[in-house]
Amino acid sequence: MKMLLKKKTLGISLAVVMTVAVFGGAVYAVTSTTFPGQVNIVAATNDIKIFSDSSYMFELTKITWNDLPVGGERTRTVYIRNIGNTNAVVTASLVNAPAGVALAEGTTSMIINAGSQGDFNLTLEANTTVNTGSASFTVSFNSTPDYVNP
């Protein structure tokens, strides 16, 4: 009788361990999924230019963003030069992004003085219900004049 009880206890213990391992692995697989493959970068107005480097030498048209985790966020720095004659409010927006992907609050705009440049920290967030089948979308940068009252 004791031997039968030990076998049942061992069997139940193994079943619990296997269930936890399988379930834990499934949860890890879901939470470790990353996307998207490519994010296109567009300067929607012609008074700004977007660059990949802080020396403003290489114009940026896309970012390979393979490490955005489902349920998390990642930041990339882009460098924006205002080549216009007025101070500009530069705003980032997503175009054709899958549901569940957003720009983090507080990382969507900045003011850049005329003839100046600035570092723009672009932070993407992906919630846990995001459709990971979509591999590409666009971040569009738009500028509007920042008029200062005299």
Q: What is the pLDDT along the chain (150 residues), one digit of tens a residue?
A: 555 445 555 455 555 445 444 444 333 334 445 666 688 899 999 999 999 999 999 999 998 877 788 888 999 999 999 999 999 999 999 998 888 889 998 778 999 999 999 999 999 998 888 766 656 889 999 999 997 665
Per the confidence metrics, is the pTM higher than 0.85?
no
Q: In CATH terms, is domain 34-145 a member of 2.60.370? A: yes
**CA–CA gap between residue 133 and residue 61 (Å, rounded):** 22
Domain residue spans in the chain? 1-32, 34-145
> Do 87 and 145 touch, CB atoms closer than 8 A?
yes
Neighbours of 95 (CB within 10 A): 11
- What is the predicted pLDDT for the residue at 8? 53
